[in-house]
């Protein structure tokens, strides 16, 4: 049997994706352990859930460091203290330096609330409404030095309704995020998801991608 895998989850705020991942790992009995939840903000709501669940958690506050490089180095030391097989960015709102991203090459995932390459950056739902797209959604991708970019693992489409507001659209996308992100992480944990020369391989007998 494959050894237990260690997952470290990075958050900045609410942590609803983190919670969905923790719950999927528990209920689906993944061969994995959430080794730590790490936040760059002391006031991240998601830290309370980590506390309640008895999951080790840490804060590496970006405001405590003079430069992006110094922060990323401190974050990397903290993450590596938990020996992760996979680093999961779940609403982690930081631009990362190239050395940090390269250190975790092939073992760091992010979810972004748009159908990339459309609408990188912030306020994706507002951007989608302003652009008048009929289809919006979310993307799980391997992290590279490009902001909100990198080889795509999976995407989920969410139709934009004529009555949608930024909030209603965000809410429907979030429900889908909570499904696709745990599924992609599970693929990784089970050794079914990998990346080679920038190409993503998914070894699952399904068209659910």
Task: Match 């306020």 to its residue by tokens.
Answer: 123
CB of 42 to ligand GAR, least distance (A): 15
103 assigned to active site: no
Which residues here bind ligand GAR, judged by CB under 6 A? 11, 13-17, 90-91, 111-113, 148, 174, 177
Nearer to ligand GAR, 148 or 164 (CB): 148
- The gap between the terminal CA atoms of the chain, to the nearest Å, is 26
CB of 205 to ligand GAR, least distance (A): 28
- Virtual torsion, Cα 110, 6, 85, 192, nearest 10 deg: -80
CB of 82 to ligand GAR, least distance (A): 20
Nearer to ligand GAR, 24 or 111 (CB): 111
**What is d(CA 110, CA 96) in angstroms, rounded to the nearest whole number?**
12
**What is d(CA 92, CA 140) in angstroms, rounded to the nearest whole number?**
13
**What is d(CA 32, CA 36) in angstroms, rounded to the nearest whole number?**
12
> What kind and span of H or E run contains 175?
helix 166-189
CB of 2 to ligand GAR, least distance (A): 27
Catalytic residue among 57, 103, 112, 136: 112
Longest dimension (CA), the chain: 50
Nearer to ligand GAR, 5 or 112 (CB): 112
Nearer to ligand GAR, 84 or 91 (CB): 91
Nearer to ligand GAR, 32 or 90 (CB): 90
CB of 100 to ligand GAR, least distance (A): 16
Please report the DSSP string for 64-115 in residue order. GSSSHHHHHHHHHHHHHTT--SEEEESS---PPPHHHHHHTTTSEEEEESS-
Q: Which residue is nearest to ligand GAR (CB)?
A: 91
Looking at the annotation, which residues are catalytic?
112
């Amino acid at each position: 049997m494959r050894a237990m895998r260690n997952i470290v989850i990075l958050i900045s705020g609410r942590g609803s994706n983190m919670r969905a991942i923790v719950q999927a790992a528990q209920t689906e009995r993944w061969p994995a352990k959430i080794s730590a939840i790490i936040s760059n903000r002391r006031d991240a709501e998601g830290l309370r859930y980590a506390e309640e669940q008895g999951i080790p958690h840490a804060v590496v506050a970006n405001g405590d460091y003079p430069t992006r490089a110094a922060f990323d180095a401190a974050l990397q030391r903290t993450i590596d203290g938990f020996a992760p097989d996979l680093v999961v960015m779940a609403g982690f709102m930081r631009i990362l330096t190239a050395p940090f991203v390269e250190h975790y090459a092939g073992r760091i995932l992010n979810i972004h609330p748009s159908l990339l390459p459309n609408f990188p950056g912030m306020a994706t739902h507002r951007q989608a409404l302003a652009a008048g797209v009929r289809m919006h959604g979310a993307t799980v991708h391997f992290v590279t030095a490009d902001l909100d970019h990198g080889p795509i693992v999976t995407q989920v489409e969410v139709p934009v309704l004529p009555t949608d507001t930024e909030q209603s659209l965000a809410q429907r996308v979030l429900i889908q995020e909570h499904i696709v992100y745990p599924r992609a992480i599970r693929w990784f944990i089970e050794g079914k998801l990998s990346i080679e020369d920038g190409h993503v391989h998914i070894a699952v007998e399904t068209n659910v991608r």
